[in-house]
Amino acid sequence: MIFGNLMFIHGRRLINLGGLQSWARAFATQQKFKDKVIIKVKGGTGGAGCSSFGREKFVPYGPADGGNGGDGGSVYIATRPGTFNNLSHLLSHYKATAGTNGKGGNCHGSLGSSSIIYVPPGTIVKEIQNLNEEEEQSHNYPVQWVQRPGNERLPKLALDGPSFEDEAERQAQELFYSKSPPINTYPIKYNLMDDDGKPRILCQGGIGGFGNVHFLSEKNRSPKFATKGLKGQSKVFELELKTLCDIGLVGLPNAGKSTLLNSLTRASSTVGDYEFTTLQPHLGTVRVISDNHIPVSFRLADIPGLIEGASDGRGLGFEFLRHIERAKLLCMVIDISPKARISCTEAFQQLWKELEEYNPELVERLSVVIANKADISAEKQLESLKDVVSKKRQSIRVIPISATQRQGMDILLRCMADAYTKMKSL
């Protein structure tokens, strides 16, 4: 909801927050496409244990009754399909909340709330730094103490045996160990490709501190100290979106990729009669009923235009080719109208060469060649394109369409659905 139709008066001015909402939406759509981000994640700190004594009437020297602190919350990562195919929504820092402190009367603090970072399926998560690595490997908990006001110093040395201080330290180490023994943690690496959506841990919250009840011993009948909670894990992760879409539309600038995406899906990629209208990929979801009456849905992406020399870094170069690498299947969009800057056969050869030079596996993913702008009479061009394509590989189908007039869409969708289901069944 939030800004719905709200209006309020600020000073003498009437502010319409509805306007703000549309501004926010416009801003959100203009956010840059990001496929690689670095995030810093921190688990919540454990709450401090409490040092207190019972204060009941007629009970002299009330017993120790300090409660434990609550554990800090943890941070998880999970996939949420169909919401976004971009990592630009992520913040640079994530932190779970701390547990609250324990209280007198054996009241324990509450747990910190955990948080989940949602990413699109196909994200690779890599831990690149563990900021608490030394502490975790030392197998020694960094115990910090809470004292009752007025008793800043721990009890003095006992007459014989270990000092109260050493004894308390030993007890605290044992307590923390019993609650969470240290384990050898390896850097996290998750491949959230075909994920079940279950949250996976990124940073564990810190253990809550122990109240003074836990430090009662034969020698010390009234421990006036408790431990603070431990800090949560703190790590840096690199997230990379590996799979962008199921089918990617590739072609030279102005071939009509954005127009086609808009007519097949609910996407609204900008269309313009000039080159490089699209500078970042746009996505849409196609839902079709296949020949076997099975509903098929796949994500279609309009990838920025490729130019000659892209495999050497020209134009959008590698940036563009990296997007293509993330498509499971590719469809080439070729302008077959006589008005095209270069002939359709030349365009096909050029695209094939760039893809092959960057990664020979990319041409293997090519399933359909879309001959666009067939509304402008171009029979000759279509025939020569079919010839050239069949010489490269017989199995690639050439489908004439008009993206603006929405002609040939049925056959195209059926071909795409066929290729997609075949690829999935492999």
Ligand X SMILES: Nc1nc2c(ncn2[C@@H]2O[C@H](COP(=O)(O)OP(=O)(O)OP(=O)(O)O)[C@@H](O)[C@H]2O)c(=O)[nH]1
Residues forming the site for Mg ion (CB under 5 A): 258, 277-278
Name residues contacting ligand X, limited to 379-408 (CB under 6 A): 402-404
Name residues contacting ligand X, limited to 206-235 (CB under 6 A): none
296 binds, among Mg ion, ligand X, none (CB under 5 to 8 A by kind): none
Contact status, residue 124 vs residue 190, Cβ threshold 8 Å: yes
The total number of residues written for the chain in this structure: 426
288 SS3 class? strand
255 binds, among ligand X, Mg ion, none (CB under 5 to 8 A by kind): ligand X
Instruction: Report, in Å, the least distance between residue 263 CB and Mg ion.
Output: 13
Instruction: Report, in Å, the least distance between residue 283 CB and Mg ion.
Output: 13
Angstrom distance (rounded) from CA 348 to CA 356: 12
Instruction: Report, in Å, the least distance between residue 419 CB and Mg ion.
Output: 22
Instruction: Report, in Å, the least distance between residue 407 CB and ligand X.
Output: 8
Q: E-assigned strands of 193-326?
A: 200-203, 225-227, 234-241, 245-251, 282-289, 295-302
Q: According to the 3-state scheme, what is the secondary structure of 12-25? A: CEEEEHHHHHHHHH
Could you give the dihedral angle defined by the CA atoms of residues 284, 405, 397 and 309, in that order, rounded to the nearest 10 degrees?
Answer: -70
Q: Classify residue 145 as left (phi > 0), alpha (psi -120 to 50) or beta.
A: beta
> Per-residue contact track with ligand X, 359 to 378, x per CB under 6 A?
-------------xx-xx--
Name residues contacting ligand X, limited to 289-348 (CB under 6 A): 304-305
CB closer to ligand X out of 204 and 277: 277
CB closer to ligand X out of 209 and 281: 281
Instruction: Report, in Å, the least distance between residue 85 CB and Mg ion.
Output: 17
User: How far lies 238's CA from each of 60, 75, 120, 127, 197, in Å?
Assistant: 58, 15, 14, 6, 19
CB atoms within 10 A of CB 378: 22
Instruction: Report, in Å, the least distance between residue 314 CB and ligand X.
Output: 15
| Per CB under 6 A, 412 contacts ligand X | no
> How many residues touch ligand X (CB under 6 A)?
24
Match 């590996």 to its residue by tokens: 242
CB closer to ligand X out of 58 and 274: 274
Angstrom distance (rounded) from CA 352 to CA 83: 33
Contact status, residue 40 vs residue 95, Cβ threshold 8 Å: no
245 binds, among ligand X, Mg ion, none (CB under 5 to 8 A by kind): none
| Per CB under 6 A, 146 contacts ligand X | no
367 binds, among ligand X, Mg ion, none (CB under 5 to 8 A by kind): none
Angstrom distance (rounded) from CA 324 to CA 57: 77
Angstrom distance (rounded) from CA 187 to CA 167: 35
CB closer to ligand X out of 223 and 253: 253
CB closer to Mg ion out of 123 and 258: 258
Instruction: Report, in Å, the least distance between residue 335 CB and ligand X.
Output: 7
Contact status, residue 282 vs residue 294, Cβ threshold 8 Å: no
Contact status, residue 176 vs residue 230, Cβ threshold 8 Å: yes
Tokens of 170: 């030993």
> Per-residue contact track with ligand X, 252 to 291, x per CB under 6 A?
-xxxxxxx-----------xxx-xxxx-------------
CB closer to ligand X out of 29 and 394: 29
Name residues contacting ligand X, limited to 29-88 (CB under 6 A): none
Q: What are 127's strand-pairing partners?
A: 237
Instruction: Report, in Å, the least distance between residue 35 CB and Mg ion.
Output: 18
Site residues (vs ligand X, CB under 6 A): 251, 253-259, 271-273, 275-278, 304-305, 372-373, 375-376, 402-404
